[in-house]
A and B are shown apart, each in its own frame.
Chain A
Amino acid sequence: MYQYDQYDQTIVDERVAQFRDQTQRYLKGELSEDEYRVLRLMNGLYVQRHAPMLRVAIPYGLLSSEQLRMLALIARKYDKNYGHFSTRQNIQYNWPKLETVPDILADLASVQMHAIQTSGNCIRNTSSDHLAGVAKDEIEDPRPYCEIIRQWSTLHPEFSFLPRKFKIAVSGARNDRAAVSVHDIGLYLVEGANGNVGFRVLAGGGLGRTPYIGTVIREYLDKKDLLSYLEAILHVYNRFGRRDNIYKARIKILVNSLGAEKFTKLVEEEWQRLREGALLLEQKEIDRVRAYFQAPEYEDNAHHDDSFAEKLETNKDFAAWVKRNVHDHKMPGYRAVFVSLKSRNLAPGDATDEQMDAIADIAEKFSFSQIVVTHDQNLVLNNVKQADLFMVWQALSAEDLATPNIGLLTDMICCPGLDFCSLANAGSIPIAKQINDKFDDMDYLHDIGEIKVKMSGCMNACGHHHVGHIGILGVSKKGEEYYQLTLGGTAENEASLGDRLGPAVEKSKVADTIGKILNVYIELRQEDEKFLETYKRVGIEPFKDHIYPKKQVKEKELAHASH
């Protein structure tokens, strides 16, 4: 993985000093609430319901064991012994004290980490494929480009006060595991007509209150033009993006109000001004950064091993875990292991300090000391030998990290919601618990198979509900928590936004309603059809009919009419 040199280290160290000074000036009254707010947000510090919340950047989700141990230490030293991994592949702490945040940042800097631009109206952490570097379907490893983008965007003088936050994602695989098309800018590494690899560029994707799938604005971009093209897009957005209405300030609104064609024209014109200048990305730099992401020293004969097959035969629980939580790898004899942060004993995405320490140790012993955060709020050990899987499973099980539910119903995405977030309309974590309580039969969950449930506590859609196979959105009706369900969304290839099922349901009925949805699926599915496939084939009607029988709807309409 990427290693800081003296320059990178100087920047994070100077950032710590700057923020320490800003915090002191604020505490002394020299900076107003409003002035400090913008500065602290650029360091990922929010003021939430109970306490400040600090979001720490995990660039493209990649951590070393040493870094994960530091995250555990921070949870212990400054927080209540846990952290929350977010859909942005970052980690959030819910209980730090404001005065201690400069110290936390200093501790982070000691392991080449920071919280720069994890919030605020600036370019955020670039996210990527959690199987980058090991996936079989990869065209090229996207992480070097994420790192190049990270450096270019860090403290960018022109783009630190954008109309709104700005998120970039890069995928290098044929299957999109990074939700690229719902980012402000999405980049796919693709093979061009000339046989070289370059980027397909999307702009204007995003969730939130007006969700859009991004538009392709350039089919092919040479790598050398990456930074000039990004700069051109950002420049157009910074100039013309709306600033009068926070709900209309994202680039997706600009792209759609100008029309993709006009928007693209502005970008291309600006790009012509920029492309030959200092932004031209030299091959030398691409090679330099790529060298950090070289494959580890795999053992050539790792697949010459019978113990794995034998254990699969003899241990049913292990086999169930392998089936759900272990993924193919480009190297024979190696696998990528998902560490489930969706046990029923913790909120989705949470990990305790002890768990983090344990995972760091397991990664050090079995996976070249690397850990990846997924945007589904799990972790991945991306280079485990098949002969070691059994030991890894045992070690993870001992820490409640081996629930065999990756991709299943209980592997939900869930935002912090009403329990922590001051913007929330409704709780998410209690709904996750309700779902876990109702669906506690593993055989049933395995029978249902792959299904993505995504849940947000408000329109901001941090839980990506629009692109859940089942999406759950918390709304508030006369002060009561209600939940709006959508079906059929997906952020993968052929991305689509979910369709509304019907009126929002009350809090106590969410899991039951999901049960009914699943009944319809079970009844209608053909052979091995997955939930999303069945949905795409039959559409929303059968689900509507079952969950909101006509009679009931009629009565409701009548009741409305008579008011």
Chain B
Amino acid sequence: MRVIKDNKVIDDNWQIVEGSAIESGLPAGDVILPFSVWQSNREAILSWNDRKLGLLINGEHDIDDLAGDLDHFNIIAIEFPAFKDGRGYSQARILRDHYDYSGDLRAVGDVLRDQLYFMQRCGISSFLIKEEKDIEDAIRGFSDFSVKYQTAADGAEPLYKQR
């Protein structure tokens, strides 16, 4: 999929598959599986060894339920069903700050330029921009602010320590 990563637009092999794909046949390559699919087919999925795995979660899911499984995933995609739904920011921080998750964290869904700065600070590392939006233009969202008051998952020290 075509996403922003490290301030550049890149194409990678990840594809998000539908919940039904497990019966109807998965596409070749690296797949991002919905949380429910993972949960109900965990053992079977772990026996695959020909592809890399990703997981799709949203604000309803409890990261603590995944605690022991995080190492299986090269990527976790966090869905923002609407940009106003800010649960994904907390999900990202739990993964980064509490579980030290070091794989790719990808924002998908209603992902827009003006949210990227916040997302990145919460530890999200790649961004699938909403379809009808200009992805090149969106990159500018990262540089809205050069000063950060508070610490976050990006490792920023509280500003006062520089003062």
- Which residues of chain A have a CB within 8 Å of any CB of chain B? 5, 7, 10-11, 14-15, 18, 22, 30, 35, 38-39, 121, 151-163, 227, 235, 238-239, 243, 273, 277-279, 282, 284-285, 288
Contact = CB atoms under 8 A, between A and B. Distances in A.
B93 A154 contact: no
A157 B152 contact: yes
A18 to B, nearest CB: 5
B144 A18 contact: yes
Interface in B125-158: 134, 144-152, 157-158
A452 B134 CA distance: 54
A158 B122 contact: yes
A10 B163 CA distance: 14
B67 to A, nearest CB: 13
B147 A238 contact: no
Nearest to A241: B87
B118 A7 contact: no
Contacts of A10: 146-147
Contact of B85 (A158, A161, A277, A284): A161
A7 B160 CA distance: 10
Contact of B149 (A22, A155, A160, A279): A155
Given A11-B147, A158-B122, A239 B159 contact: no
A159 B162 CA distance: 23
Contacts of A160: 86, 89, 118
Nearest to B120: A157
B84 A7 contact: no
A288 B147 contact: no
A11 B144 contact: no
Across the A-B interface, give the 6 residue pairs with the lowest CB-CB distance, nearest first.
Answer: A161-B86, A157-B121, A278-B151, A157-B118, A285-B160, A151-B149
8 contacts: A7-B163, A11-B149, A14-B146, A18-B145, A152-B149, A158-B93, A159-B89, A160-B118
B163 A151 contact: no
- Which one of B97, B121, B148, B149 has the highest number of Cβ atoms from chain A below 10 Å of its Cβ? B149
A7 B114 contact: no
Contacts of B161: 282
B90 A158 contact: yes
B114 A39 contact: yes
Q: Which of B93, B150, B163 has the most CB of A within 10 A?
A: B150
Given A11-B145, A158-B118, A239-B59, 6 more contacts: A121-B84, A121-B86, A158-B122, A227-B150, A277-B97, A288-B163
Contact of B157 (A152, A155, A278): A278
Contact of B86 (A7, A238, A277, A278): A238
A418 B152 CA distance: 42
A152 B148 CA distance: 9
A157 B159 contact: no
Contacts of B73: none
Interface residues of B, number: 38
Contact of A158 (B117, B152, B158, B162): B152
B72 interface: no
A320 B152 CA distance: 54
A35 B83 contact: yes
A367 B145 CA distance: 36
B112 A35 contact: yes
A160 B160 CA distance: 21
Nearest to A11: B147
B115 to A, nearest CB: 8
B163 A152 contact: no
A277 B151 contact: yes
A22 B86 contact: no
Contacts of A284: 160
Contacts of A151: 149-150, 159-160
B98 interface: yes
Contacts of B157: 278
A152 B120 CA distance: 17
Nearest to A155: B145
B85 A243 contact: yes
A239 B87 contact: yes
Contact of A159 (B83, B86, B147): B86
A345 to B, nearest CB: 42
- Residue among A163, A227, A239, A284 with the most chain B CB within 10 A? A239
Nearest to B62: A239
Contacts of B87: 238-239, 243
Contacts of B90: 158, 235, 238-239
A279 B149 CA distance: 11
A38 B161 CA distance: 32
B61 to A, nearest CB: 11
A163 B59 CA distance: 12
Contacts of B145: 11, 14-15, 18, 155
A31 to B, nearest CB: 8
Contacts of B115: 161
Contacts of A273: 97-98
A144 to B, nearest CB: 12
Interface in B76-100: 83-87, 89-91, 93, 97-98
Nearest to A150: B149
Nearest to A279: B151
A227 to B, nearest CB: 8
Contacts of A7: 147, 159, 162-163
Contacts of B122: 157-158
A153 B144 CA distance: 17
Contacts of A38: 83-84
